[in-house]
Structure 1
């Protein structure tokens, strides 16, 4: 049975881009007689604001979207991330790193989907692990896993290329898991069989497929959908003040009508759907 999820982070209000992502996940599950889960990814330190969670519930209900079962909160799962992290350490695949973002930016010579690729400064050093982040030795991990593939419903079969990110952080200084590790573990724990998300996260699936192989996790199918973008081609973003769903809801706009328009590709003036951020091979 198909199971999808919508997994917003409560570090700002939802906007039309989130609405579109939720609708895609919801509608694919319903069309296939499956289930649609809601996960709140609320472990991003002080940026996670609990007051946004109630807004998320109201916004989704206003759009006419109903999730199955109780919402899942990442903050309640912190303990579940510890063992997989320790397992990767025991496999010799993680190493501690104390480099700052500024130091990485200054030393990097290569760039990937997330910006400067970590140059391996701490990889062969004796680094005090206390309070350090832990990075995945991607070359060693790929050598262990062997060639891997994953399937996107739109883009087709993909060869996993986690090297495009370099040695990503898997265990943060302040948390037992980074986005890459937490999302991969959560999708497995939640029984997600179809991972739906925007094209801006296409490349992340290369890393997630590697983690699935290393940790013996089930492998879902992916569905990377188009993004809603502004006139300059940038995706809608909370930090740039894209109009929130809450403001539209409180302003009396018809939620189901808005959802129907998004499904039909009838978008507000100045907003369009774009597949230009596709980074798959």
Structure 2
């Protein structure tokens, strides 16, 4: 286990989580994901946590955090512990970067995404990786990320074509997934050029710190799971079990998301909203008249 990791929680057999980003209110697609993770935890007699992934201020909407939490409360999806806010956890992400830095696994990159895309098509590495960040900027010290920001570079994780870059895991819904991260993804960003921490780093660090045993989320994140597992291995962290649930689409065939202007749920219709979410999850209900009854039926059906 890596030295920066200190679990806050006692070890249990199951701990799940729902981790929305405050870029808008809760819509049906996110409610389906929240229900799936909640039901999976309750059916396993485990704990279910809420974590707010608020590490991208330019994309966040004012008041969205409170709106999401009110919606979850209205739908009786309650956390078993305090709500964690990623915006307050920079020190842990920096500790992870320090470990990767000292292992020689990261480098500073000033290439644009367009340049990287062209290099990948030509099966070439980013030229920045030829000089490690340690060689460019010296040993680790407390101001080194500030120096990096002045240079305008992002931090990329080095993914070499070794046996460890072939990631194979069994998704609890989609079965065995195999991806060679070196060939299919390449070196990926863990800290952006604007100084913000990348989702891939934050989610890996926080899942481990919270002792998450099972990640249940939308299938749109299935493709990034191998790189998260790769990063877990680099940091010496445990890999949780994964279950990705099918996405919800609108009548035009677009994924229900904030990017496609999915309507925000009406909390006054929480029971009806949950009925719809259960239909998307292929859960059959016997005309529940209350949210408590619906969730009880849904947990029983999830077990089966």
**Short-chain TM bin:** 0.7 to 0.9
Aligned-pair CA distance for 1:155? 2.2
Aligned-pair CA distance for 1:123? 2.3
Does residue 99 of structure 2 align to residue 87 of structure 1?
Answer: yes
Structure (1 or 2) with the larger CA radius of gyration: 2
Does residue 150 of structure 2 align to residue 122 of structure 1?
Answer: no
What RMSD over aligned residues (CA atoms) do the two structures have, in Å? 2.5
Distance change in 2, residues 1:109/1:82 (3 Å): closer
Report what 2:175 is aligned to. Answer: 156
User: After TM superposition, where is structure 1 displaced by more than 4 Å over at least 4 residues in a row?
Assistant: 125-129
Identify which of 193, 205, 217 aligns with 1:197: 217
Whole-angstrom CA distance in 2 between matches of 1:120 and 1:166: 9
SS at match of 1:240: coil
Aligned-pair CA distance for 1:183? 0.4
SS at match of 1:238: coil
Report what 1:273 is aligned to. Answer: none
Report what 2:39 is aligned to. Answer: 27
Does residue 113 of structure 2 align to residue 101 of structure 1?
Answer: yes
Q: Which runs of 5+ in 2 are unaligned?
A: 1-12, 138-147, 283-304
TM-score using structure 2 length? 0.76
More displaced stretch, 58-67 vs 123-132: 123-132
Given that residues 32 and 280 in structure 2 are in contact (C-alpha distance below 8 angstroms), is that contact kept between their aligned partners in structure 1? no
Given that residues 116 and 126 in structure 2 are in contact (C-alpha distance below 8 angstroms), is that contact kept between their aligned partners in structure 1? no
Given that residues 4 and 192 in structure 1 are in contact (C-alpha distance below 8 angstroms), is that contact kept between their aligned partners in structure 2? yes
Given that residues 62 and 256 in structure 1 are in contact (C-alpha distance below 8 angstroms), is that contact kept between their aligned partners in structure 2? no
Identify which of 59, 72, 75 aligns with 1:63: 75
Report what 1:5 is aligned to. Answer: 17
Report what 2:273 is aligned to. Answer: 258
Q: Which runs of 5+ in 1 are unaligned?
A: 112-116, 268-281
Report what 1:211 is aligned to. Answer: 231
Distance change in 2, residues 1:158/1:101 (3 Å): closer
Aligned-pair CA distance for 1:212? 1.3
Q: RCO greater where, 1 or 2, for CA within 8 Å and sep 6 or more? A: 2
